[in-house]
């Protein structure tokens, strides 16, 4: 089975959903594969990946507001607080949302719907670079 793998270093300057569709599509084009699958794996425990709407930014704002209610900061029962008030909530959010996605490849392109985009969902206020392993195979 032919396989192409590239690890991307992504920067997200702040908490929120940051679209990475173009970066992933670039790896698919670089692979030269016309048909197959593109698997994404984020190598972190305080960020995640989601496939969601890329047209209306209010969707991203609503997702962020919702998950902040599920895992609020500064709860007195958190014991893992070494890296700040966003530390434990970021791990909870990453446990509730995916760190991997698989998208079909058709005609050398990601076979996504019209309004779909791939997002790095950063859960920390001041993150470092994030590593995204992109594997294209057929």
Per-residue confidence (pLDDT) for residue 126, from 0 to 100: 92
pLDDT along the chain (138 residues), means of 10: 95 92 98 98 98 96 98 96 94 98 98 97 95 97
CA atoms within 13 A on the CB side of 108: 5
Per-residue confidence (pLDDT) for residue 38, from 0 to 100: 98
Separation between Cα atoms, residue 59 and residue 93, nearest integer Å: 17
CATH architecture of 3-137: Sandwich (2.60)
Per-residue confidence (pLDDT) for residue 12, from 0 to 100: 80
Every domain of the chain and the residues it spans: 3-137
Per-residue confidence (pLDDT) for residue 1, from 0 to 100: 76
How many angstroms separate the first and last alpha carbons of the chain?
6
Separation between Cα atoms, residue 4 and residue 28, nearest integer Å: 9
Per-residue confidence (pLDDT) for residue 72, from 0 to 100: 97
């Amino acid at each position: 089975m032919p396989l192409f793998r590239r690890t991307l270093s992504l920067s997200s300057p702040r908490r929120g959903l940051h679209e990475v569709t173009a970066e992933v599509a670039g790896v698919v084009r670089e692979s030269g594969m016309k048909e197959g699958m593109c698997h994404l794996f984020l190598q972190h425990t305080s960020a995640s990946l989601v496939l969601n709407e890329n047209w209306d930014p209010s969707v991203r704002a609503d997702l962020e507001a919702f998950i902040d209610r599920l895992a609020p900061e500064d709860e007195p029962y958190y014991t893992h607080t070494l890296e700040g008030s966003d530390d434990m909530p970021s791990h909870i959010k990453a446990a509730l949302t995916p760190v991997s996605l698989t998208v079909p490849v058709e005609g050398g392109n990601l076979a996504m719907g019209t309004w779909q985009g791939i997002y790095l969902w950063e859960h920390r206020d001041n993150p470092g670079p994030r590593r995204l392993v992109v594997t294209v195979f057929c």
